[in-house]
Amino acid sequence: MLSRRNFALGLAATSLLGAGRARLHLGAQTNAYKIADFDGLVAVLAKLQKYGYEGFETGFRNVESQFDKPVPARDAINATGLRFFGVHIWLPSYDPETQIAPASLYRKVALGAAKLGAEHLILSGAPAVAIDKKIVALNSAGKFGAAVELPVLYHNEFPEFAKGSTEVAALMQGTDPKLVNFLVDMGHAFHAGADVVAFFSEHQKRIIGMHLRDFHGDEQVPLGQGDFPLAQLAAAIKQSGWSGWLLNEEERVNSRPGDAALGPARDKLFQVFGGDA
């Protein structure tokens, strides 16, 4: 039996997608939840499905145990009805020369995640010591991703916007758009003082997705409860006709708030970015 909540979610999703043509895609990073193993991930995906999300992104640690037995794991993911937007490689430290994950790691993750149905390989990194080396490394990762049909996206962290947006802009200018595009963490950018609306408007052709998170001062709060300019970003998206992914990320430094943060954040996301935004 269709519940009132699921019916409402369906109406919101229909409005979001527009009249028969793809528009924005709403997803969530699973970082809001403490996940111990693959079964725990599947349980979280069931929650995201009930919230009405179209897809998800997750860290590689949550799926790497399934790389040697991909068929049942892929079936379990598909059974949730969610698209596997991307597998993310975040590390406490990176290759000292390139400031991204070592090639041996991203190749292993790309091969395994592709078998699980992932649509993108997402690489985080650290501020570059030599930007040219980082650009070359990202293009090399992009070539490998293209070879295994898993497009590469680069995801910025807070420090890469802390002194303006020059590093991320330089990566956009230097990398080959046929090989590398971007999942911009607009929450990190905003927290670092960037004009996120202007950055989106200037670079939206290279942006496949955006992480949205909100801050009140230095404290991360559920989306819509802080100072992030959601309405202004929605207006810029509508004006541009951009039709990528918006992914809510409700991680915290010392906790995993789960539904307590993701529930209200999900409602705000659908409220602001519904309709023809």
Q: Are 265 and 31 in contact (CB under 8 A)?
A: no
Predicted pLDDT of residue 93? 96
**SS3 for 258?**
coil
Say which residues have a Cβ less than 8 Å from residue 91's Cβ, sequence separation at least 6: 101, 124
pLDDT score recorded for residue 164: 81
Q: Which two tokens stand for residue 194?
A: 């960037």
Tell me what pLDDT residue 1 has.
34
User: What is the reported pLDDT for 15?
Assistant: 40
pLDDT at 165 (0 to 100): 83
Phi, psi of 66 (to 5 degrees): -100, 0
Dist. CA 267–CA 277, nearest whole Å: 15
Radius of gyration for the chain, computed over Cα atoms and rounded to the nearest angstrom = 18
Q: Count the Cβ atoms, other than its own, within 10 Å of residue 144.
A: 17
Global pTM value: 0.91
Question: Positive or negative CA dihedral for 71, 72, 75, 77?
Answer: negative
According to DSSP H, which parts of the chain are helical?
4-17, 38-51, 70-79, 103-115, 131-147, 166-174, 186-191, 196-203, 230-240, 259-273
Query: Which superfamily is assigned to 22-273 in CATH?
Result: Divalent-metal-dependent TIM barrel enzymes (3.20.20.150)
pLDDT of residue 276: 39
Cα–Cα–Cα angle for 169, 174, 175, rounded to 5 degrees? 105
Spatial separation of the C-alpha atoms in residues 182 and 170, rounded to whole Å = 12
Q: pLDDT at position 12, please? A: 43
CA–CA distance, 113 with 99 (Å, rounded to integer): 22
Q: What is the pLDDT of residue 84?
A: 98
Question: 3-class DSSP state for residue 84?
Answer: strand
- Residues whose CB is less than 8 angstroms from the CB of residue 212 and which lie 6 or more positions away in sequence, other chains included: 186, 187, 223, 228, 230, 246, 247, 248, 249, 269
In the chain, where the domains are located = 22-273
112 torsion bin: left (phi>0), alpha (psi -120 to 50), beta (else) = alpha
Gap between the Cα atoms of 123 and 86, Å rounded: 10
Task: From first to last of the 277 residues of the chain, give the pLDDT tens digit.
Answer: 334 344 344 444 434 444 333 489 999 999 999 999 999 999 999 999 999 999 999 999 999 999 999 999 999 999 999 999 999 999 999 999 999 999 999 999 999 999 999 999 999 999 998 999 999 999 999 999 999 999 999 999 999 998 788 899 999 999 999 999 999 999 999 999 999 999 999 999 999 999 999 999 999 999 999 999 999 999 999 999 999 999 999 988 778 899 999 999 999 999 999 743 4
Query: CA-to-CA distance for 162 and 97, rounded, in angstroms?
Result: 21
CA distances to 62, 84, 122, 153 from 88, rounded to whole Å, are 10, 11, 5, 9
